[in-house]
Structures are given as C-alpha cells and as structure tokens.
Amino acid sequence: MLMNFGALAAEDLKQVLLESDVISIDRRLKIWPECVQGTFRQTSSNSIEMCLDPKDKAKRCEFAVNDALSHTGTYRVAFDFRVTTIDSTDSEWHSYFQVHSFPDKDERWRCPIQALELHSGAFRMFNRWDPTPVSITKSGTCSGAENSIQSRTLFQDLSLTEGDWHHYEQVGRLASIDGGELTVTIDQVEMATIKGPNTFNDQREPFLKFGIYKPTSWRSEQPLCVEYRDIQVTSGDHSNDTN
C-alpha cells in the first residue's frame, strides 16, 4: 500500500524510506528526515515526491542518508529525478541533492562537499574539498580568500525539461589530498570528470541529502516539488557499469 502524508510527518517519511523500494544501499540504511514543514507522498513502490511551499516559511524538505559513502574505495550513487517547476526568471538558487560532511570537534558546519542546484532555470553543480584537519572558516563556511576550503564548478548552465524524468549518476573515490576521482553523468551524458582532492578531511563518513534546500528568498508563490525514483548507493568498482 502506498503511503501519503502531509506536513509534520518526518517519522512517517523515515518509515516510507525504510520499508519501500525507493532507496537501495549496500550497507545499513540510516535515515535522518528533515521535512517538518514540507510535504511528501509516496508516488509508487519505488518513488517519492517532496515539496516545499513558500507559505510554510521553511528552508528545507529533505532526508539524509547517514554514513552513506566510505572514505576508502570506490562508490556509485544513481537515481532518477524530475522537478515540477523550472523558472528561468528566478535568480534565487535552491538545491536538490547534496553530499555533506559532519564537522569534527571545534569545527563549524560547512557548505556541502557537493551540491546539485537550480539557478535561473539551469542546473549547476559544485564540489568542495579541504585537506586541513580543522577547516579554517574566517570568511563564511564555503570557499573564500581566508578559508582553507577550496571549490570547483563541476558543470553549469544545464537545461533540463520540467516534468520529465532524468537520470543522475556519479562514480567516484573520496580523497582530501590525492587519489580522489569523480565522474558525474546526467541522462548518460558525461558532465564532469575530475581527479584529485574532492572531500573534507573529516573523521566521520559523508552523508547524502535528497530533497529541496532553499535558504534563499522566494520569488514566486508556487511550491517547489521534486520526485525521486530508484535511488541506489553501492560500493566497489563500477567502471564497467552500463545503464
């Protein structure tokens, strides 16, 4: 039976994700729901929709998959997604997928290691890294002139069709100094391939975030919605995988 919930149903969101086929991971599934003011509904046995309404005055409707990626070895993250609204006149960004990292002792929360964002009707993606054991964050929590965090743009100005399903996939190996690898494809088109540092020097393993994160101003009264299908997180060599 499909489950359909509205606002204030964070624990129900967790239940849906643990008991459905929306997400598959080759380690213990640890879900952390953050959708208190948003809404979600299970749209099929393997898909879920999450929405954020400007009337709720909230900046997120997301769920995190904790301890999802190992500091050692290769990994693969793949999922289908579709968004209901792509507004080219909206200059305020929001994100639909992040790879995040827990701060160590005496360290501030920092901008995500990776973020897939929509800005002015086009998709873009960033990658950040820092070899420093405790990040220096004198000028904000992202990269900056006085910060130890560094960043790169993986891609930008990507146009996707609203309402259509799109396939996202990344294969990589995490490293804060040398040995890192990352390849991102969307709809079987390679968007970025990098070699070198690609994560923070943290003790805990990174976690994934799915859903809408919008700390910026609203330019429209229309809700934002995203749907995910067949989320897969696996470890091991995926160099010969095909879709």
Q: Considering only 92-101, 110-119, 200-209, 230-239, which range has the smallest mean pLDDT?
A: 230-239
Going by DSSP bridges, is the β-strand pair 23-25/224-235 parallel, antiparallel, or unpaired? parallel
Residue 20 dihedral angles phi and psi, to the nearest 5°: -100, -175
Beta strands in the chain (DSSP E): 4-5, 23-25, 31-34, 39-44, 47-52, 60-65, 74-83, 94-100, 114-119, 122-129, 150-158, 166-173, 181-186, 189-195, 207-213, 224-235
Of 122, 103, 126, the closest CA to residue 161 belongs to 122
Helix, strand, coil abundance in the chain, percent, nearest 5: 5, 45, 50
Per-residue model confidence as pLDDT tens digits over 202-213: 999 999 999 999
Whole-number pLDDT of residue 125: 98
Spatial separation of the C-alpha atoms in residues 111 and 194, rounded to whole Å: 20
Whole-number pLDDT of residue 199: 97
Q: Quick one: how far is CA 212 from the chain centroid?
A: 9
Q: CATH number of the domain at 4-233, please?
A: 2.60.120.200
Spatial separation of the C-alpha atoms in residues 214 and 117, rounded to whole Å: 10
Q: Give the position of tokens 């997120």.
A: 60
For residue 151 the two structure tokens come to 């960043």
The residue ranges of every structural domain in the chain are 4-233
What is the pLDDT averaged over residues 160-175? 97
Whole-number pLDDT of residue 41: 86
Instruction: Find residue 42's DSSP bridge partners.
Output: 48
Whole-number pLDDT of residue 225: 94
Per-residue model confidence as pLDDT tens digits over 15-54: 888 888 999 998 888 998 887 666 888 899 999 999 998 9
> Which residue has better confidence, 1 or 141?
141
Encode 192-229: b = buried (16+ Cβ within 10 Å), e = exposed. Answer: beeeebbbbbbeebbbbbbbbbbeeebeeeebbbbbbb
